[in-house]
Amino acid sequence: MDQAAGSAQDAARSVPVCYRHPDRETGVRCTRCDRPICPECMISASVGFQCPECVREGSGTGHAPAASRPRTVAGGTVTADPRLLTKILIGINLAVFLVQVSVGDRFTNRFELIGQAYAPLLDGVQGVAEGQYYRLLTAMFLHGGYAHILFNMLSLWWIGGPLEAALGRARYLALYVVSGLAGSALTYLIAAPNQPSLGASGAIFGLFGATGVLMRRLNYDMRPLIALLVINLIITFTWANIAWQAHIGGLVAGVVTGYAMVHAPREKRTLVQYGTCAVVLLLSVALALVRTAQLT
């Protein structure tokens, strides 16, 4: 019994953990000091990744020069608070939800995603087909109840925080927006025109997709993420009143955009990354225009 327990403990210790974050397992090491580092600590170097301490030592002054400032896996700038944008997005969602609760259905009906339908509270036919294209964006920040926003914000914190650290703020925000809009566009295209839809799920599924691409790129164990994604997809297609179109649209956009973010060649990285975001955005606009033409 003691020998078996010791073997199990040895096996557990054989899994490397980040030297700056002992609670995070990792398969990547600093190319200079060979210490294990997690995505938050990875700084892109000419060959592989380095830890923050080696980058500071390499600069000779404690501050990296402009030409060799610390960069994330995707080429973004390493910041003091790698989860700042995720916190801001959660704050915006919570603030909008408080307005929903305070103002009532009239506010929600004005900004939720709906193709074309008569809205008694707004005294007329409303929807994206009526020229209210802002609904494709505003619906991403609305939620249908306390459980809805709680689940989405917890998912955003767990998935979004590490991904923001790995991509950098600008790339992370671009991924979030294009994934959410792709989910809204597919919902508008496929769902019944009088079916309302709201929630950050499309954007969050995009973060799921990009996280999978990143983990594959870093040779991480993807089984926990796959299990979590499968559970979410089962819920998507079995529970009532869930806009599965937003989930699938966001997931596909997240995988495509995430692949461009982490696999873009260094010499054309910015062009490939933001060019892919632009293509996904244009496809979303095209889907919306096609649906508007059908309804009008």
Catalytic residues: 201, 247
* CB of 130 closer than 8 Å to CB of 194: no
Burial profile 208-242: b = 16 or more Cβ within 10 angstroms, e = fewer: bbbbbbbbebbebeeeebeeebeebbeebeeeeeb
Query: What is the Cα–Cα distance from 208 to 220, expressed in whole angstroms?
Result: 15
Q: What is the DSSP letter of 78?
A: P
Cα four-point dihedral sign 182, 188, 190, 195: positive
28: Cβ contacts below 8 Å, ≥ 6 apart: 36, 37, 38, 39, 42, 48, 49, 218, 219
For strands 124-126 and 43-44, give the pairing. Answer: unpaired
CA angle 211, 56, 260 (to 5 degrees): 25
CA 227 to each of CA 39, 177, 221, 230: distance values in angstroms, whole numbers, following the listed order: 21, 25, 11, 5
Query: What is the Cα–Cα distance from 149 to 157, expressed in whole angstroms?
Result: 12
Query: What is the Cα–Cα distance from 271 to 95, expressed in whole angstroms?
Result: 34
CA 226 to each of CA 25, 209, 211, 292: distance values in angstroms, whole numbers, following the listed order: 17, 10, 10, 36
